[in-house]
């Protein structure tokens, strides 16, 4: 797999956490698991339509938008792929897609169902563009235009602060502590957080711990060490949670997914590159 990391423009960094271009051969397993994370997903697949199955929906489209989820989504990787993937923050869901993150939870949708004809036009223009630099500039520009039109799309600062603290502590923080920190009741925080972020605080913390565990495993730490560092009761607790969120065991994921994800380099593509 070839990965092309794109520096997100400063004006989009509140709404886009990461941006990548990718060119991938077919995975020998025929599939790729999209794991739960802190980000919503915007993908424009330039080769064949991307086929994705989530818990509640399935889609086959060149442009796909996906919400936060607590189950792995199944991505058809049986043919070569090439495209762009932008990781959106929950605030980016509202500001760039025009939809609160809570309305996309557990879903994968055709981008045209979210953006209308603008989604179709964007996909068509990207598919007609050959160079990575121009592709990134085109998508950045389209998102900036939507940001300019979304003058009322603002996530409450208390929710954003609770989300920031939850991520900073890798999910190892109680909901009551988050509520106290922002000066809201636990019930009010849970209601507002779920709408804006897409998951209740307790489930969001679960995903944040899972992300931290994934990072530790990728760094070569043993499952026992990862379990202790990431707030799991013990290694069997980590194993149960991993299977629930990833849909497979730690060993299966490392054996089937890791070679596919790490087979390549990740050069940085300058914004000025043609």
Q: Please tell me the predicted confidence (pLDDT) of residue 149.
A: 63
Q: Please report which residue ranges of the chain form alpha helices under DSSP H.
A: 90-92, 111-115, 117-127, 132-149, 157-168, 175-182, 186-197, 201-218, 223-229, 235-246, 250-256, 258-262
**Architecture (CATH level 2) of domain 2-152:** Sandwich (2.60)
Q: Which residue has the higher pLDDT, 268 or 78?
A: 78
Report domain extents, the chain: 2-152, 157-232
Q: Assign residue 257 a region: left if phi > 0, alpha if psi is -120 to 50, beta otherwise?
A: alpha
- pLDDT tens for each residue of 53-97: 998 799 999 999 999 999 999 999 999 999 999 999 999 999 999
DSSP result, 81-135: EEEEEEEE-HHHIIIIISS-GGGTTT-EEEHHHHHTHHHHHHHHHHHT--SHHHH
- How confident is residue 185, by pLDDT bands cut at 50, 70 and 90? very high
Question: pTM (2 decimals)?
Answer: 0.92
Q: Please tell me the predicted confidence (pLDDT) of residue 150.
A: 57
Element (H, E) at 40: strand 40-45
- pLDDT tens for each residue of 211-241: 999 999 999 999 999 999 999 999 999 999 9
**Mean pLDDT over each residue of the chain, to the nearest integer:** 92
Cα angle 268, 272, 274; round to 5: 95
Give the count of beta carbons closer than 10 Å to the beta carbon of residue 148. Answer: 9
């Amino acid at each position: 797999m070839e990965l092309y990391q794109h520096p997100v423009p400063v004006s989009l960094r509140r709404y886009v956490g990461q941006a990548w271009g990718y060119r991938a051969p077919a995975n020998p397993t025929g599939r790729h698991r999209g794991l739960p994370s802190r980000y919503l997903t915007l993908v424009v697949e330039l080769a064949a339509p991307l086929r994705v199955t989530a818990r509640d929906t399935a889609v086959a489209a060149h442009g796909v938008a996906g919400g936060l989820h607590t189950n792995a989504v199944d991505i058809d990787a049986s043919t070569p792929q090439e495209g762009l993937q932008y990781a959106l923050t929950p605030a980016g869901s509202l500001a760039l897609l025009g939809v609160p993150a809570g309305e996309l939870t557990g879903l994968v949708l055709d981008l045209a169902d979210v953006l209308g004809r603008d989604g179709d036009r964007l996909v068509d223009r990207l598919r007609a563009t050959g160079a990575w630099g121009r592709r990134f500039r085109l998508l950045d520009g389209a998102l900036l235009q939507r940001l300019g039109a979304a003058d009322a799309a603002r996530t409450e600062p208390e929710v954003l602060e609770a989300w920031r603290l939850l991520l900073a502590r890798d999910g190892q923080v109680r909901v009551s502590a988050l509520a106290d920190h922002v000066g809201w009741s636990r019930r009010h925080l849970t209601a507002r957080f779920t709408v804006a972020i897409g998951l209740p605080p307790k489930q969001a913390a679960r995903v944040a711990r899972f992300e931290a565990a994934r990072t530790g495993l990728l760094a070569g730490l043993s499952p026992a060490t990862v379990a202790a560092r990431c707030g799991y009761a013990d290694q069997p607790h980590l194993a149960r949670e991993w299977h629930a969120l990833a849909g497979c065991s730690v060993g299966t994921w490392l054996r089937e997914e890791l070679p596919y994800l790490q087979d390549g380099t990740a050069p940085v593509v300058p914004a000025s590159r043609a």
